[in-house]
């Protein structure tokens, strides 16, 4: 689950297995854009980096359009403008989209290449958080790799529900 400025609010074990553990970052750095633009490992993991980054920047622009003076938006945009030429380039496009989707090829160190479709779904509230969901086409090699990733992660993960900030691990892929 992502907040309106793409801060990671909740995750589950499979999302953690695919993208890394958000709890390993300080709360102010648990942001999809900060990870995409500031973490070199995210670029190596995400073969569809450019497309995903463009869509996420457009989502942030939509949030900024609703409340241009929001302190979180101001801080995040300021940080990324200073530290990322790629963010500056994509921000200058002025793309605005509230809900996005796409397909990204991940190159995961444990299961290899895995193509996942991803969609965002708005949750109640105005403006409210969005649910980010990654899926694989059933019966494909990508679905098998996702299942393998889930099995590998389950051997080291704790059981329980979705993981929220300050809680212990638990849950599926969102």
Give tens-digit pLDDT for 35-66: 999 988 888 898 878 988 998 999 999 989 98
Q: What is the mean pLDDT of residues 138-143?
A: 96
pLDDT tens for residues 109-119?
999 999 999 99
The pLDDT, as a whole number, for residue 100 is: 80
Question: At 157, is the pLDDT very low, low, confident or very high (cuts 50, 70, 90)?
Answer: low
Q: What does pLDDT average to over the chain?
A: 86
Q: What pLDDT score does 85 carry? A: 97
Q: What percent of the chain has pLDDT over 90?
A: 59
- In three state form, how does the secondary structure of the chain look? CECCCCEECEECHHHHHHHCCHHHCCHHHCEHHHHHHHCHHHHHHECCHHHHHHHHHHHHHHHHHHCCCCHHHHHHHHHHHHHCHHHHHHHCCCCCCCCCEEEEEEEECCCEEEEEEEEEEECCCCCCCEEEEEECCCCCHHHHHHHHHHHHHHCCCCCCCCEECCCCCCCCCC
Higher-pLDDT residue of 108, 48: 108
pLDDT at residue 31 in the model: 95
Q: Minimum mean pLDDT among 3-12, 41-50, 124-133, 138-147: which range? A: 124-133
Strand 101-108 with 112-122, pairing: antiparallel
pTM over 0.85: no
């Amino acid at each position: 689950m992502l907040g309106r400025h793409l801060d990671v609010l909740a995750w589950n074990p499979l999302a953690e297995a695919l993208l890394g553990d958000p709890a390993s970052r300080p709360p102010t750095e648990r942001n999809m854009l900060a990870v995409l633009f500031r973490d070199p490992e995210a670029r190596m993991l995400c073969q569809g980096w450019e497309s995903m980054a463009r869509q996420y920047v457009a989502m942030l622009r939509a949030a900024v359009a609703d409340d241009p003076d929001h302190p979180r938006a101001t801080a995040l945009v300021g940080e990324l403008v200073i530290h990322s030429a790629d963010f500056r380039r994509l921000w200058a496009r002025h793309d605005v989209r509230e809900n996005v989707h796409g397909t990204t090829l991940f190159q995961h160190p444990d299961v290899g290449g895995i193509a996942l479709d991803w969609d965002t779904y708005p949750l109640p509230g105005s403006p409210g958080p969005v649910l980010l969901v990654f899926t694989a086409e059933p019966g494909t090699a990508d679905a098998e790799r996702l299942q393998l990733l889930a099995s590998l992660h389950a051997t080291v993960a704790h059981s329980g529900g979705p993981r929220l900030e300050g809680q212990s691990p638990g849950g599926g892929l969102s």
